[in-house]
Structure 1
């Protein structure tokens, strides 16, 4: 027989559940829990990343998105992520390193 592991809750789910239990019955009755949960999780994720920005690079055919404080750190993280993805599919990374081209950056 298969053992079922208990579902782990994330920090966002725990924070939402704490917030939801603190709301009044009138509020709970007039709002959809699923809609509020999606909005809460988005805000929670954005609040955790106040000091970092999102950078998107292309490395060969891959598109790598990372969160970092500046472009130099983002480039290093993107290179590590490209190496990890290449290893996952059994491709060796280029000897000279990845040629990373910045496609987009967003954030504060």
Structure 2
């Protein structure tokens, strides 16, 4: 669990560093996958003649149409695009994993034994 939490924290920090005004790019949506049943939400687009797919949140995905303009942040490090709202949303996963990790450190068996006696 500690490794998973560390991974999420590292990914979050890297993503936040990429969200800088100088990395903001306006793209034109070429396709979208708003799979309500499977929970996968993404858009596809061309940037410098290369096709990219980027995960986005469900609400914006459903509201967007092919041909719409959308702002994303480019990460040189990963040659990937990030959605600001998705990065903000991923903070919830980081917090949840840290809480679960901290709770897993408590000696519950010992606490229960001392409480019963």
Q: TM-score range by the shorter chain?
A: under 0.3
Q: Scaled by the length of structure 2, what TM-score is found?
A: 0.26
- Name which structure has the greater RCO, CA cutoff 8 Å, separation 6+: 2
Structure holding more strand per residue: 2
